[in-house]
Every structure is written in C-alpha cells, then in structure tokens.
C-alpha cells in the first residue's frame, strides 16, 4: 500500500465523481464551529479542500476562506463551485506568516504528516483562534447488507476504511484527532461533537461513493471495476447509510509564542 502522501494525491483522477457522490456539510456544522469560536470568523484556512464541499459551507456564511489543496484537478473542480482564494500546496508546504481566525480540515487531516502537525496548525492561527476537524465514514446501517458487501469486497480488499491515525480504539470516548489535541501544548478546550446524518441512496450511487475512496483508487483499474461489479450485485436496489459527522474543536493557547 502506498504512503499517506501518495494516497492523498490519488483523488484527482476522480475529481468529478468526488464532487458528485460526496455529500456537502450541513449548516448545523457551521453553527457548531461559530458557536464554539464565540467571536466572528473573518478569515479561515482550509487544509485539503478537495472539491470544496466544506469550503462552500464557510465561504457562503461570510468567512474569507483560503482553500489549500495539493491536487490540481481537485482545485480545478473546486473553482467551478466557489470563488475563494486557492493555494495549490500540501499542508506541510504552506508558508508561515499569515494567521487566521479559523483553520479547519474536512475529512483531510489524516493525510497530513504527523511530525510537527500541531505546531504548524498553531502557527497559522491567531492566539485564541479555532481549529476544527470533521468528517466520518459512510456506514451501511443494515448489518446483513454490510456483511454481504464485506464478502464481495474480500477478494480485493480486507478493509476500505482509514484506520485511526494514532491507533485509538473505536470504543474510546475521545477519538482522533481529539486524542492528540488533548496532549498538545498548543491547544486547549478540546471538544468532540457528533452530528447525525442518514442518507438513502441507490446501490449505484453507493458504489459511486466507493469509487472516491482511496483504498479502491489504489487498486489497478481492472481489479477495481471487478470489485465494484461484485459489490453492486450484493446490494439491494436502495441502501441506507449512516454518515454521521464527528467534529473536533480546539482553541490555540493565547499564551504560547510562535
């Protein structure tokens, strides 16, 4: 399996599918972040903006977003849908100097390099500024359907999710990246919230969503199509998915230098 950085650059080939099959984010999420901030969010930096699903949420509510993304095709798709400042760069390549009220990542933080991550985030925030990370997998709600899909997928992939970057067990009350934020000297007031979402979609749309997941994008094209055909045959005509959003919030310590 390829490294994290290489996998993060695998989405450009399916930028249009990503835009079509990945859902946007609800206003409830913005309200959560803004309420936590407790002050106006005027300038925001987005890490790994993709096609701009979360970019739109914040930009349409008055935040001057700088959307950063290493993949040119993803940025090109983003520019079709939202007019914001864009920077083609990985998080680790962003220049120091500018500071923001908000730094956030939507289903993208796990692609960043762990070493020095929180010092880099803190360096982009005003003292007292807010960091937010949010996202979550699509989970089939029917256990029998999930078992059928797992059986169909097994010849090609053992699993298609992204394991917790720091190995936190799923039963733990605090999940990553909250676990790391709690340990970071740069941040305080760490919170974890869940926003419930359920979708009902066609089997073909569900497979379309799978086509935007990095585990499948790593497979050779012919093998990937075989996997999708088997999974599609295992699915009922329509499926329900749990697409809950897990959000983590933290505040940059005002007393820290840097």
How does the average pLDDT of the chain come out, rounded? 94
Check the CA dihedral 82-86-89-95 and report its sign: negative
pLDDT band at 254 (very low <50, low <70, confident <90, very high): confident
**Residue-level pLDDT at 2:** 39
Give the predicted TM-score (pTM) of the model: 0.93
User: Does residue 1 have a pLDDT over 50?
Assistant: no
Give 183-221 pLDDT, tens digit per residue. Answer: 999 999 999 999 999 999 999 999 999 999 999 999 999
């Amino acid at each position: 399996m390829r490294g994290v950085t290489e996998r993060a650059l695998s989405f450009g080939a399916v930028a249009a599918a990503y835009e079509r099959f990945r859902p946007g984010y609800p206003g409830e999420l913005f309200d959560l972040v803004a309420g936590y901030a407790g002050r106006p969010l005027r300038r925001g930096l987005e890490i790994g903006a993709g096609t701009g699903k979360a970019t739109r949420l914040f930009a349409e509510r008055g935040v001057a977003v700088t959307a950063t993304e290493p993949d040119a095709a993803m940025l090109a798709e983003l520019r079709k849908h939202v007019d914001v400042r864009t920077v083609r760069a990985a998080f680790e390549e962003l220049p120091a100097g500018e500071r923001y009220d908000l730094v956030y990542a939507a289903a993208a933080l796990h692609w960043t390099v762990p070493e020095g991550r929180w010092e880099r985030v803190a360096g982009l925030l005003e003292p007292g500024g807010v960091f937010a990370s949010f996202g979550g997998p699509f989970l089939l709600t029917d256990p029998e359907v999930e078992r059928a899909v797992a059986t169909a997928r097994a010849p090609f992939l053992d699993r298609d999710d992204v394991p917790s970057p720091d190995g936190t067990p799923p039963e733990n009350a605090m999940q990553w990246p909250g676990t790391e934020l709690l340990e970071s000297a740069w941040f305080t007031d760490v919170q974890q919230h869940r926003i419930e979402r359920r979708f009902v979609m066609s089997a073909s749309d569900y497979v379309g969503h799978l086509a935007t997941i990095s585990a499948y994008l790593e497979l050779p094209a012919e093998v990937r199509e075989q996997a999708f055909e088997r999974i599609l045959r295992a699915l009922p005509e329509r499926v329900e998915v749990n697409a809950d959003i897990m959000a983590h919030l933290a505040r940059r310590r005002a007393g820290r230098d840097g």
